[in-house]
């Protein structure tokens, strides 16, 4: 088989993976069975497709093949326990029982992967593995942990799902807001890890930002009436739109120095549409407000055109929902543009964030603008010591070096 | 349906009102727990439940040798011990967690939810 053919089959497989696993997990009630069957379907596709061509409906082909393999396997193993008996009886394509406001297998699986009974790290890893189709080595690499550690983390979470009987179910409407929050957090964290990657490797991991956006798009299709889902998608695409312009020669480029011609207009337009849609629904939430802030930034033809009073007003609104010091820090950055660095520094100095590198970086920048070089250098040093992103470290080092 | 053990964890040291601050608090918690127990019965989740005597009343037995060895006190000397438990039969973890939250509120203690691997 040609390498290109193999890669093409694997690409289709990966695109279909989340759908495939979700459908099999629902049908057989077991993630391990789903994964094994999906693996066998990939082997079958690699044998067949290069000769016969990719079928018109590759997802359907993979699902049918995998389901048949799973049933064969269960028959062969002649399992007698109730779960597998149930799986046999369930193998015909009768419609699944309505269990919540939305019925899509991937959505069920996403809620399972992000279940509050699982450790937060495990939720992210499981989501990337089962819905994103990323391999265990890829996820281990993304989160800078040894492969065996990541494999154990995923295995342990899957065992807990099976033994504690975490349901494959979209929560009831009454529980949805609470549970949806956990899912959005996972998607946001996956994106952030891609956008400001930790470690010595690439400062930006486009496969993670892309995956987070893809999963959020699916969530949006499945829950079109939830404004926070639209808000998160808006936030992610407006941030992703600036990805290419954000790093130059291995250094982070702050938004006011970015080449705005390098921003992705299609993503910005999409983000602005989403923000307008959220405004019309008028049920503001954290991600919607963050999206609106990013809409203000991406609306300005050049950095000096930014409507900072609007940005501060949005941060005021966010503070009412989430009065955390991190929100206060971001608000202070906008205040610096409106009322000057002195006012902003007074706000920043009050915040209990000495362990948070953006606090040091913000102080350094404000002190630099106030001409307080000695203190600025100290703050840059603290920020450099605390950041784990190579491009940000390079940027901070340059700014520190420019101080006399 | 799956069986879950819901254990209530509380301080090992108890005074005259158990692990509660006052007589009123203790009585309120008992009453709320009674209401919760009735609900478990009515909804068909109930298997078994009970409150335990203080851990100081425990005896550890090691019967692996030729003659059993008895020792006074709980197996682990800890500040927090199991004060009581429920065994429930629930369709899935979401239901079990919801019931645990209600039970925790009723008895005023943290509740650990652990599935049974099987029943004898």
CB B92 within 8 A of CB A166: yes
How many domains does chain B fold into? Answer: 1
Classify residue B120: in a domain, yes or no: no
Q: Which two tokens stand for residue A163?
A: 């033994």
Q: Are strands B80-90 and A251-252 parallel, antiparallel or unpaired?
A: unpaired
CB-nearest to B93 from A117, A171, A175 is A117
At B4, is the secondary structure helix, strand, or coil? strand
Question: Between B111 and A18, where is the model more confident?
Answer: B111
* Residue that terminates a domain, selected from A43, A59, A89: A89
Cβ pair A166:B94 closer than 8 A: yes
**pLDDT tens-digit series, residues A250-275:** 899 999 999 999 999 999 999 999 99
**What residues have CB less than 8 Å from B51, skipping those under 6 apart?**
B83, B84
A259 phi and psi, to 5 degrees?
A: -80, 105
Task: Report the DSSP beta bridge partners of residue A258.
Answer: none
Helix segments in A282-353, DSSP class H: 286-299, 308-321, 325-339, 341-349
Q: Cα separation of B86 and A233, whole Å?
A: 43
Q: What residues make up the domain containing B35? A: 2-115
User: Which residue's structure tokens are 């799956």?
Assistant: B2
CB contact B2 to A (< 8 Å): yes
The pTM assigned to this predicted structure is 0.79
Give the closest residue to B93 by CA, choosing from A162, A186, A58, A380. Answer: A162
Q: How high is the mean pLDDT of chain A?
A: 88
Chain A: closest CA distance from residue B112 (Å): 11
Model confidence at A343: pLDDT above 80: yes
Which pLDDT tens digit goes with each residue over A15-33?
Answer: 788 889 999 998 998 999 9
Count CA atoms within 13 Å of residue A194 on its CB side.
Answer: 23
Mutate which of A30, A97, A163, A165 to disrupt the B interface (most B C-beta within 10 Å)? A165
What digits encode the pLDDT tens for the residues A30-52? 999 999 999 999 999 999 998 88
Report, as an integer, the average pLDDT of A165-193: 87
Confidence at residue A101, expressed as pLDDT on a 0 to 100 scale: 42
Digit-coded pLDDT (tens) for A102-143:
457 888 899 999 999 999 889 999 998 998 888 898 888 777
Residue B37 lies in a domain: yes
DSSP per residue, A215-246: HHHHHHHH-TT-HHHHHHHHHHHHHHTTHHHH
- The residues in B 17-76 lying below 8 A from A, measured between CB atoms, are none
B60 lies in some domain: yes
Q: Choose the final residue of a domain: A89, A105, A122.
A: A89
Interface ipTM: 0.85
Interface test with B, best of A164, A169, A172 (most B CBs within 10 A): A164
Of B118, B120, B119, B114, nearest in space to B4 by CA: B114
- Has residue B54 been placed in a domain? yes
Residue A357: give the domain boundaries: 336-404
- Across A149-164, b (16+ Cβ under 10 Å) vs e yields ebbebbeebbebbeeb
CB contact under 8 A, B93 and A165: yes
Q: Which of A115, A164, A167 sits opposite B115 (nearest CB)?
A: A164
In a domain, B28, yes or no: yes
Residue of B89, B94, B98 best to disrupt the A interface, most CBs of A under 10 A: B94
Specify if B95 maps to a domain: yes
Residue B50 host element (H or E): strand B46-51
Query: Pick from A46, A73, A89: which residue ends a domain?
Result: A89
Position A393 scores a pLDDT of: 92
What is the model's pLDDT at position A95? 44
Structural domain count, chain A: 2
Q: What is the mean pLDDT of residues A366-378?
A: 96
Residue B79's domain is classified under what CATH number? 3.30.70.1060
**What percent of chain A has a predicted confidence (pLDDT) above 90?**
61
User: Would you call A309 an interface residue with chain B, using a CB distance cutoff of 8 Å?
Assistant: no
Q: What is the pLDDT of residues B25-80, one digit of tens each?
A: 999 999 999 999 999 999 999 999 999 998 888 999 999 999 999 999 888 888 88
- B18, pLDDT greater than 80: no
Q: Angle, nearest 10°, between helix axes B93-107 and B23-43?
A: 150
Question: Is residue A67 within 8 Å of A37, Cβ to Cβ?
Answer: yes
Q: With an 8 Å Cβ cutoff, is B118 touching chain A?
A: no
**Residue of chain A with shortest Cα separation from B97:** A117
User: What is the tens place of the pLDDT at every residue in A219-240?
Assistant: 898 788 899 999 999 999 999 9
Q: Which residue of A has its CA nearest to B4?
A: A164
């Amino acid at each position: 088989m040609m390498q290109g053919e193999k890669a093409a089959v694997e690409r289709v497989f990966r695109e279909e993976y989340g759908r495939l696993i979700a459908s099999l997990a629902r049908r057989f009630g077991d993630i391990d069975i789903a994964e094994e069957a999906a693996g066998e379907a990939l082997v079958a596709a690699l044998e067949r497709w290069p000769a016969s061509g990719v079928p018109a409906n590759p997802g359907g082909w993979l699902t049918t093949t995998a389901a048949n393999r799973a049933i064969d396997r269960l028959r062969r193993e002649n399992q007698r326990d109730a779960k597998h008996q149930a799986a046999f009886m369930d193998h015909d394509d009768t419609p699944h029982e309505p269990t919540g406001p939305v019925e899509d297998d991937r959505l069920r699986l996403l809620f399972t992967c992000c279940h509050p009974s699982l450790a937060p790290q495990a939720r992210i890893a499981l989501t990337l593995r089962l819905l994103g189709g990323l391999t265990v080595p890829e996820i281990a690499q993304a989160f800078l942990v040894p492969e065996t550690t990541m494999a154990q983390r995923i295995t342990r979470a899957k065992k807990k799902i099976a033994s504690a009987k975490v349901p494959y179910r979209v929560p009831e409407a009454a529980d949805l807001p609470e549970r949806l929050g956990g899912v959005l957090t996972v998607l946001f964290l996956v994106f952030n890890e891609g956008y400001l990657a930790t470690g010595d490797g690439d400062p930006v991991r486009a496969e993670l930002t892309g995956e987070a956006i893809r999963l959020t798009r699916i969530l949006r299709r499945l829950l079109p009436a939830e404004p926070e889902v639209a808000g998160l998608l808006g936030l992610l695409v407006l941030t992703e739109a600036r990805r290419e312009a954000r790093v130059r020669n291995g250094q982070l480029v702050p938004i006011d120095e970015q080449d705005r011609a390098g921003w992705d207009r299609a993503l910005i337009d999409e983000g602005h549409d989403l923000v307008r849609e959220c405004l019309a629904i008028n049920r503001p939430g954290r991600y919607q407000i963050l999206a609106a802030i990013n809409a203000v930034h991406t609306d300005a033809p050049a950095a000096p055109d930014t409507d900072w009073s609007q940005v501060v007003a949005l941060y005021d609104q966010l503070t009412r929902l989430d009065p955390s010091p991190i929100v206060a820090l971001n608000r202070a950055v906008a205040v610096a543009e409106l009322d000057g660095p002195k006012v902003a520094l007074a706000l920043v100095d009050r915040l209990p964030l000495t362990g948070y590198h953006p606090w040091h970086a913000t102080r350094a920048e404000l002190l630099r603008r106030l001409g307080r070089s000695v203190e600025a250098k100290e703050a840059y040093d603290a920020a450099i010591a605390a950041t784990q992103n190579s491009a940000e470290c390079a940027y901070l080092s340059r700014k520190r070096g420019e101080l006399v | 349906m799956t069986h879950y053990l819901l254990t209530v964890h509380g301080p090992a040291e108890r005074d005259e009102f158990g692990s509660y601050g006052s007589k009123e608090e203790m009585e309120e918690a008992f009453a709320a727990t009674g209401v919760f127990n009735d609900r478990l019965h009515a909804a068909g989740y109930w298997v078994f439940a009970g409150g335990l005597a203080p851990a100081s009343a425990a005896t550890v037995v090691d019967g692996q040798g030729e003659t059993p060895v008895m020792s006074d006190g709980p197996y682990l000397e800890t500040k927090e011990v199991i004060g009581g438990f429920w065994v429930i039969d629930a369709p899935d973890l979401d239901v079990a967690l919801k019931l645990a939250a209600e039970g925790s509120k009723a008895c005023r203690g943290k509740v650990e939810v652990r599935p049974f691997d099987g029943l004898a």
